[in-house]
Amino acid sequence: MTHDLIHLGLPWWDKAIRTLVVYLGLLVLLRLAGKRQLAQLNTLDLVVLLLLSNVVQNAIIGNETSLPGGLLGAAILISGNYLLLRLAYRRRWLAWLLQGTGTVLYENGQVNERNLEHELMTRQELVSGLRREGMELDDVERVDLEPEGAFNAQPKPKPDIEDVMAALQRIEQRLG
């Protein structure tokens, strides 16, 4: 029994290849699935992500059930992720390839329906996401859906004292 606990069931290189191939495969699939998968998890998205870990488990571990095998897989995932993040930080094209770019959802008082449809988001999901940020559509000039799935809302500028005084002067001129 303790032999199964501490003895690798697969060669270390087999474990490394399996882990890295599944990691890269999931990166590609999540990239193709779009930013919505990361932004607004609805019930269906959550179920898919939970089941995804179960589906790929055997592809990563094979018949490996040892403690060192599990730790080796975890170390490979963390190291591979660190290396990929470092490369993406240094190589802009790789960051673009892995993450993509932001998508404009709202600008100058207009919801970009085409981009919402592309991201499989409804107008209500956009409004709900903004409300979680403490804003309404009327409060913002522009809203982007970032590659990480976060909303980036640019608030409308607040009038300063000069703007208020100029507006007051225009009103006085019309009245007088």
Task: Give this prediction's pTM.
Answer: 0.57
The CATH number, out of the four listed (3.90.50.10, 3.30.240.20, 3.30.1370.10, 3.20.20.150), of the domain defined by the range 103-155: 3.30.240.20
Q: What percent of the chain has pLDDT over 90?
A: 20
Going by pLDDT thresholds of 50, 70 and 90, the confidence category of residue 1 is: low
Domain with CATH 3.30.240.20 in the chain: 103-155
- Is residue 137 over pLDDT 80? yes
The answer to whether 151 and 145 have CB atoms below 8 angstroms apart is: yes
Q: Supply the pLDDT for residue 112.
A: 95
The answer to whether 52 and 26 have CB atoms below 8 angstroms apart is: yes
Mean pLDDT across the stretch 128-155?
88
Q: What is the 3-state secondary structure (H, E, C) of the chain?
A: CHHHHHCCCCCHHHHHHHHHHHHHHHHHHHHHHCCHHHHCCCHHHHHHHHHHHHHHHHHHHCCCCCHHHHHHHHHHHHHHHHHHHHHHHHCHHHHHHHHCCCEEEEECCEECHHHHHHCCCCHHHHHHHHHHCCCCHHHEEEEEECCCCCEEEEECCCCCHHHHHHHHHHHHHHHC
